């Protein structure tokens, strides 16, 4: 799917506008702080119902306003059939998402319609940050590939919250019941994560080497907190054996919320000795693999790509790596749509063709560049 047009009103610093977006590549040119990233954020909000930059919706309205409206149409590129999506945040602090004029009660439904993958500087945490950051990425990826994973993770977190509360308040009598539920949901999560690990193992090392040219493989290993091949009953036994330590710590010390994902090169933890540039590239390749996995597993006859939102990430790559990175992006004839942000002095002309839509962005205003 691809965005065909968008209307933005009272969102961040963007002046109220309606823009045409029906192209495979859309370039936003402008200095920092002019509204390029805010525009990507608007597209992301329409894809998922929330921002990739903040959990606080009240931060999104334009300064001096308490509400905003986003509305867009999307379709398969060059297809007359369109779907309508809108997101309205009201002065009362309520958020309403409508798909084809019908209110959505669960935003996970959006994942099945027109998901987006954002490439941004904060993604470095997926390669260089704490285990929670890496789990966030892989959970996000699994939720895109298998919608049932989203509910599974919700159920697990709910039980985990109750179990931790029981441990904190000495309500030990309910731990047996909670352990059964935690083991059940956790076992299913582990199965999905193992499947996801295999998919990344097939794609990440080759893609990373293609751009980095390190000469040795960088692989990703999934390390589960519970024994990887344990059954539900065996996990319940593990929880029982470790209960005294959980009670002492007043929290659950094992389970999928403690799983890790590790980058390995030449038998060592790559994240501990890689350069910032190498880790930055690893985070970009994670996103590339996520994009292609979604296309391959989307269930449609032809690969169906998410919308790619690339926020100044090419600045981190030298010229040669940048060209090799571009070779990993979906081809335009695949129907994929990508929205890039560039500083004006960057060589964006090298990546544009006569189908590319280019907007210059200044102080929240967008003007279309003609005659490429």
Q: What does the pLDDT read at residue 18? A: 97
Residue 209 φ/ψ, nearest 5 degrees: -65, -35
**pTM to 2 decimals?**
0.94
Looking at the structure, tell me whether residues 236 and 264 fall in a common domain: yes
Looking at the structure, tell me whether residues 208 and 330 fall in a common domain: no
Looking at the structure, tell me whether residues 216 and 295 fall in a common domain: yes
23 C-beta neighbours (distance < 10 Å), count: 20
* Structure confidence at residue 371 as a pLDDT band (50, 70, 90): low
Looking at the structure, tell me whether residues 138 and 228 fall in a common domain: yes
Summarize pLDDT for 118-170 with one digit per residue, the tens: 999 999 999 999 999 999 999 999 999 999 999 999 999 999 999 999 999 99
Looking at the structure, tell me whether residues 329 and 298 fall in a common domain: no
What CATH number is given to the structural domain containing 171?
Answer: 1.20.1050.90
Element (H, E) at 218: strand 218-223
User: Is residue 34 pLDDT above 80, yes or no?
Assistant: yes
Looking at the structure, tell me whether residues 111 and 202 fall in a common domain: no
Domain that holds residue 161: 121-305
More confident residue, 207 or 22: 207
Looking at the structure, tell me whether residues 236 and 330 fall in a common domain: no
User: Domain boundary at 289, 305, 321, which?
Assistant: 305
User: Domain boundary at 261, 278, 305, which?
Assistant: 305
| DSSP 8-state code for residue 6 | E
Residue 39 contacts residue 15 (beta carbons within 8 Å): no
Looking at the structure, tell me whether residues 75 and 63 fall in a common domain: yes
Lowest mean pLDDT among 78-87, 283-292, 347-356: 78-87
DSSP secondary structure letters along 103-170: EPS-GGGGGGT--EEEE-GGGHHHHHS-HHHHHHHHHHHHHHH-HHHHHHHHHHHHHHHHHHHHHHTT
* Structure confidence at residue 315 as a pLDDT band (50, 70, 90): confident
Looking at the structure, tell me whether residues 96 and 130 fall in a common domain: no
Summarize pLDDT for 133-145 with one digit per residue, the tens: 999 999 999 999 9
Looking at the structure, tell me whether residues 27 and 129 fall in a common domain: no
User: Domain boundary at 305, 335, 352, which?
Assistant: 305
Name the residue with tokens 């379709």: 75
* Structure confidence at residue 75 as a pLDDT band (50, 70, 90): confident
Average of per-residue pLDDT across 294-315: 88
Average of per-residue pLDDT across 223-247: 97
What CATH number is given to the structural domain containing 344?
Answer: 3.40.50.300
Looking at the structure, tell me whether residues 42 and 125 fall in a common domain: no
**Number of domains the chain is built from:** 2
Looking at the structure, tell me whether residues 95 and 20 fall in a common domain: yes
């Amino acid at each position: 799917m691809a965005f065909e047009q968008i209307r933005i009103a009272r969102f961040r610093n963007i002046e109220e506008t309606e823009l045409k977006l029906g192209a495979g590549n859309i370039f936003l040119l402008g200095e920092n702080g002019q509204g390029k990233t805010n525009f990507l954020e608007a597209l992301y909000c329409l894809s998922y119902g929330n921002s990739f930059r903040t959990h606080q919706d009240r931060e999104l309205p334009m300064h001096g306003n308490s509400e905003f409206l986003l509305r867009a149409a999307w379709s398969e590129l060059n297809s007359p059939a369109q779907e309508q999506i809108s997101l309205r945040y009201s002065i009362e602090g309520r958020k309403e998402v409508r798909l084809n004029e019908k209110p959505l009660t669960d935003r996970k439904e959006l994942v099945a319609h027109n998901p987006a993958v954002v490439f941004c500087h904060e993604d470095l945490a997926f390669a260089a940050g704490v285990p929670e950051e890496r789990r966030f990425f892989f959970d996000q990826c699994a939720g895109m590939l298998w919608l049932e994973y989203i509910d599974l993770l919700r159920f697990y977190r709910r039980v985990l919250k109750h179990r931790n509360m029981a441990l904190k308040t000495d309500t030990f009598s309910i731990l047996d019941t909670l352990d059964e539920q935690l083991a059940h949901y956790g076992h299913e999560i582990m199965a999905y994560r193992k499947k996801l690990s295999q998919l990344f193992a097939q794609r990440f090392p080759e893609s990373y080497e293609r751009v980095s040219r390190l000469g040795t493989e960088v692989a990703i290993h999934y390390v589960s907190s519970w024994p990887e091949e344990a059954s539900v009953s065996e996990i319940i036994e593990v929880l029982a054996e470790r209960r005294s330590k959980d009670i002492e710590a007043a929290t659950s010390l094992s389970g999928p919320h403690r799983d890790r994902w590790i980058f390995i090169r030449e038998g060592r933890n790559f994240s501990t000795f890689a350069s910032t540039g190498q880790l930055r590239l690893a985070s970009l390749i994670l996103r590339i693999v996520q994009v292609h996995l979604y296309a391959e597993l989307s269930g449609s006859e032809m690969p169906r790509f998410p919308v790619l939102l690339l926020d100044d990430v090419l600045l981190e790559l030298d010229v040669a790596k940048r060209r090799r990175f571009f070779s990993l992006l979906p081809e335009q004839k695949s129907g994929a749509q990508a929205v890039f942000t560039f500083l004006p002095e960057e060589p964006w002309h090298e990546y544009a063709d006569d189908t590319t839509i280019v907007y210059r962005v200044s102080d929240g205003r967008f003007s279309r560049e003609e005659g490429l």
